[in-house]
Amino acid sequence: MAPNPDIISALPTVGLEYIEGRTPISFHLDREALQEALRAVSPTLDSGAVDRALAELFTAARRLWEPKHGLNEMKLWDAVRDEVSWTRGLPGHAVAELMVTLLQARKLYINFSRFRKSPREVAAEGRTVKAIDEYSGESPWPEPDERYKDWEPSLLAGMMDKMKKGGKAPWSSFNG
C-alpha cells in the first residue's frame, strides 16, 4: 500500500460513504493526536497498516460490547480506547468521533446498497469494513431492493446525493 501525507487520506474508502463536509476528526488537536498515534503503528500512514489499526477498534468494541461487560455505548468508546494499544492516552472523544464517523459511513454505504448495485466487490473491502460489519451485525444488500429497480438513475443519484450531504431523502414520498 502507498504512504499517505495525513490521517484523512489514509482512511479506508472502499465500502464506505462519508457524509460530505464531515471530517472524521473535526478538532485539529484531536486529528494531530490520532495522526501521531497512527504514525506509531505506521510512520508513513500506509493505508494497509491504518486499515488494520482501525479494524482493531471495532474488533475490541465487538468483544467489549457483550452484555456481560455491562457497558453502555458512551463507556464503550473509552473502554475501546483503553483496550487498543495505539489509542491509549488519546482523548476519549477523539476515538469515539473517529469510530462513529466510520460507523456512519458504513451505514450510509449499506443504505445505498438497497438502491443500487454495489460499485465494488465485497472482496475489495478492507479489514475495517469487515470489522464494522461484525460489530454492527449489518452488511450490504446482495442485490438492490426490487422496489427501486425501475426508478430513474438520476432520481436515485439525487436522493443519495442529498443523503451524502447529511440530509434526509424523502424516500417514502415516492412510489417505486
When the pLDDT of each residue in the chain is averaged and rounded to a whole number, the result is 83
Give pLDDT tens digits for 48-63.
999 999 999 999 999 9
Q: 81 vs 24, which has greater pLDDT? A: 81
pLDDT at residue 19, rounded to an integer: 82
Which of 96, 108, 102, 97 shows the shortest CA–CA distance to 50? 102
pLDDT at residue 153, rounded to an integer: 80
Distant-in-sequence, close-in-space partners of 130: CB < 8 Å, separation ≥ 6: 55
Could you tell me the pLDDT band of residue 176, with boundaries at 50, 70 and 90? Answer: very low
Prediction pTM value = 0.84
138 by DSSP, 3-state: which?
coil
Lowest model confidence (mean pLDDT) among 33-37, 142-146, 154-158, 168-172: 168-172
2 by DSSP, 3-state: which?
coil
Distance in angstroms between the alpha carbons of the first and the last residue of the chain:
42
Q: 158 vs 137, which has greater pLDDT? A: 137
Judge contact between 117 and 160, C-beta under 8 A: no
Give pLDDT tens digits for 86-130.
999 898 788 888 998 899 999 999 988 888 777 666 668 899 999
